[in-house]
Amino acid sequence: MGIVNVTPDSFSDGGLYLQAPAAVAHAQRLLAEGADILDVGGESTRPGAQPVSAQEELRRVLPVVEGIAAIDSPQAGPAPRTGSAGPQISIDTSKASVAAAALRAGASLVNDVSALRADPDMAGVVADAGAECCLMHMLGEPRTMQRDPRYGDVVDEVKAFLTQRLEFAVGEGISEELIMLDPGIGFGKTVAHNLELLDRLDELTGLGRPLVVGTSRKSFLARVIADSQGPVIADSQGPGGSEERGRRLAGTIATNVLALERGASVFRVHDVAPVRDALALAAATLHGRWTARRRGTTPRS
């Protein structure tokens, strides 16, 4: 799952793809690198992020969804490395009106970080469209989620939450076979919580749904590596510094390989090519091969 942020304030690439042509060109690059799903978002969910209106979110994402939906035309540019007819488009939103418009424009998956809690109309939109959806665990909401998050047992609590939200979604008419689950790495978790979730990710496979993991470029990766290897050099501080970027990419690859081994099958990343290659090699070692996901099917690791 390649990330297409159409935002000015996302933690890693905010502002780079705010204009629709740049975002669609970025999506084409991700497809050429081997992305199977393109996740388009118009509202940052980084810690402390401020909400935007539905009107503004639609203004940002709708031209991008429409542009990506046209990529499989002969004039649209390079074909996906996977050889599929065209990309599956995911809309990263918690607003029903944004999801509905994106689904009409060509999206077929709703990635809702609120797990259908933020908007009472969201479950109905997904069910009526027969769309896939991803339900994610988050403690609180983006503005407050990193203010001293606490759990008794983070894995048990995340599992209980995802179980409840899965049951809710099915009760609202969403087919269980169209639901994916995301433990929400970095969403209301400390470094220790994130590592515990990764270590015990296999405990969530018992829920019977595909697991989505999103560790890409997150700050806890560089913090763990810095703690073990020494502080980042002064002129490379922050996500824009070359050493910091390298540590976050290395951490992204390592955590996705670990997640694959523990049962995850959808990997939400900024850097598609290196992560996909690492997953292919890991899968060849662990299972024989990694079969890329196709829309409407259950991913297999």
> Mean of the per-residue pLDDT values for the chain?
86
Range with the poorest average pLDDT among 82-91, 93-102, 202-211: 82-91
Q: Does the annotation mark 268 as catalytic?
A: yes
Res. 280: pLDDT tops 60: yes
Q: Does the annotation mark 218 as catalytic?
A: yes
Q: Could you give the count of Cα atoms lying within 13 Å of 267 in the half-sphere of its Cβ?
A: 36
Range with the poorest average pLDDT among 70-79, 123-132, 246-255: 70-79
User: Which pTM was predicted?
Assistant: 0.87
The pLDDT score that the predictor gives to residue 166 is 98
* pLDDT one-digit tens code per residue, 132-187: 999 999 987 766 767 788 999 999 999 999 999 999 999 999 999 999 999 999 99
The pLDDT score that the predictor gives to residue 144 is 72
Local confidence band at 243 (pLDDT 50, 70, 90 cut-offs): confident
Local confidence band at 77 (pLDDT 50, 70, 90 cut-offs): very low
The full set of domain ranges for the chain reads: 2-286
Q: Kindly state the average pLDDT of the residues 214-243.
A: 71
For residue 59, list its beta bridge partners: none
Q: Which of 60, 209, 217, 218 is catalytic?
A: 218
Please determine, looking at this structure, whether the domain spanning 2-286 carries the CATH number 3.20.20.20: yes
Q: Which of 60, 262, 268, 276 is catalytic?
A: 268
The pLDDT score that the predictor gives to residue 16 is 67
The pLDDT score that the predictor gives to residue 289 is 59
Local confidence band at 228 (pLDDT 50, 70, 90 cut-offs): confident
* pLDDT one-digit tens code per residue, 179-223: 999 999 999 999 999 999 999 999 999 999 999 999 999 989 988
The pLDDT score that the predictor gives to residue 299 is 39
Res. 231: pLDDT tops 90: no
Range with the poorest average pLDDT among 10-24, 88-102, 259-273: 10-24
Tell me if residue 202 falls in helix, strand or coil.
helix
Q: Kindly state the average pLDDT of the residues 17-34.
A: 91
